[in-house]
Structure 1
Amino acid sequence: MSKLEQLLTQIAQNKLGIETLETRRSDSLDFHDVAVWCLRDALEAAFNAGLEQGRNANPSDKANT
């Protein structure tokens, strides 16, 4: 699992109560009711993780974007 997949899974688990982001081919396992405030928290966590990644990137990495 890539670092990004690990991060997204961790956010889904901590903010949305979703065990995995893997498709399990079952409606009861693949579809979730999520409160809007939980969704907002998850989106904010992902955004902040992106900011942190950008701050920690090497200057040469930033020049290539």
Structure 2
Amino acid sequence: MSKPSERCRRVIAQIAEKHLGLSTLEERGADRLDFQELSVASIRAALEAAYAAGAASAAAKAVRA
């Protein structure tokens, strides 16, 4: 798998903040910072948002092609 683009990393970070309440996706070297309790509903919402973002990106690429 190739490394995600900067735009992709920004979208992922926005989804993580909006749906999971995570201020960063960077490892910070402390369990209390790197491990979070998350509800199934918030994980589902984040995955649905990521899927929608991927579908929108693919559709935009298809239009440009």
After TM superposition, what 4+ stretches of structure 1 lie above 2 angstroms from structure 2?
none
Contiguous gaps of at least 5 residues in structure 2: none
Aligned residue pair count? 59
Structure with larger Rg? 1
- Find out whether 1:6 has 2:5 as its counterpart: no
TM-score between both structures, scaled by the size of structure 2: 0.86
Over the aligned positions, Cα root-mean-square deviation in angstroms equals 1.2
The residue type paired with residue 41 of structure 1 is A
The equivalent of 2:55 in structure 1 is 51
The residue type paired with residue 32 of structure 1 is Q
Identity percentage of aligned residues: 37
TM-score between both structures, scaled by the size of structure 1: 0.86
Contiguous gaps of at least 5 residues in structure 1: 60-65
1:23-38 pair list within 5 angstroms: 23-38=27-42
